[in-house]
Amino acid sequence: MLPFSQLIHPEGWRFVAIFSGVTILMCLFSETLGWIGAILTAWCFYFFRNPLRVTPERSGLIISPADGKIVAIRKVVPPSEWEIGEEPRVRISVFLNVFDVHINRIPISSTIRKVIYHPGKFFNASLDKASEFNERNTLILDLENGEDMAVVQIAGLIARRIRCDVKQQDVVSTGSQYGIIRFGSRADIYLPLNMAPLVIEGQRVIGGETVLADFESEELARHGSIV
């Protein structure tokens, strides 16, 4: 059980305080407004929640860095400034709506080679063009087996603040928290070369728990259907 101070991400406490203060003022004018404020304050607390996660510990597993829905799995060439080669890689895009946990987690134990911030626009994060045009923050990860990959925090239509708590040369472990995006947003994962995803478009994933890919798996890319 987490202590009360850790039930939500530190980024959220000032918002909870602001929402609570506004709610008190609203109560002075109207009981109805007070109830509306209380509901919004409860939502704010819920948005910044920090649930415990059970992260698989076996080496070779790449875990989802975020909660949400997989909106796209594409094979794309990474941006040249990342310096991870020009060969196409599988990119898994996870869309986070305003009710998902927005804390981001490291997908696999690694060393951070680069942290690259990209200023940009604020298109709806569920759109493909968000990966290229939206404000975003990229981590280039050097894995323990010599491979590399990238994970990207992307701001959305409502999200206007990306927080990243790690820096170049930090050694990080699978499932550890490294940042948060508020409020609706997206996470892109560029898998190592020639690696097949073990998830499908439309699937819901859990940050720190859902396995996206496995170095030890020989399974081809999965297909699925809505039933």
Summarised one tens digit per residue, pLDDT across range 60-117 is: 999 999 999 999 999 999 999 999 999 999 999 999 988 898 899 999 999 999 999 9
Task: Inform me whether the pLDDT recorded for 201 exceeds 60.
Answer: yes
DSSP 201-215: TT-EE-TTTSEEEET
Which helix (H) or strand (E) covers residue 33, if one does? helix 31-47
- How many Cα atoms occupy the beta-carbon half-sphere of 151 within 13 Å? 26
pLDDT in tens, 106-158: 999 999 999 999 887 766 666 677 677 778 899 999 999 999 999 999 987 66
225 carries an active-site annotation = no
Which residue from 199, 203, 190 is spatially nearest to 83, judged by alpha carbons? Answer: 190
Catalytic residue, candidates 93, 185, 217, 225: 185
Residue 95 pairs in a beta bridge with 69, 186
pLDDT of residue 113: 97
Binned at pLDDT 50, 70 and 90, residue 10 comes out as confident
Is residue 58 helix, strand or coil?
coil
The confidence score (pLDDT) of residue 29 equals: 83
Most confident of 7-21, 99-113, 155-169: 99-113
pLDDT at 2 > cutoff 60: no
From residue 85, give the alpha-carbon distance in Å to each of 82, 101, 153, 154.
8, 32, 20, 22
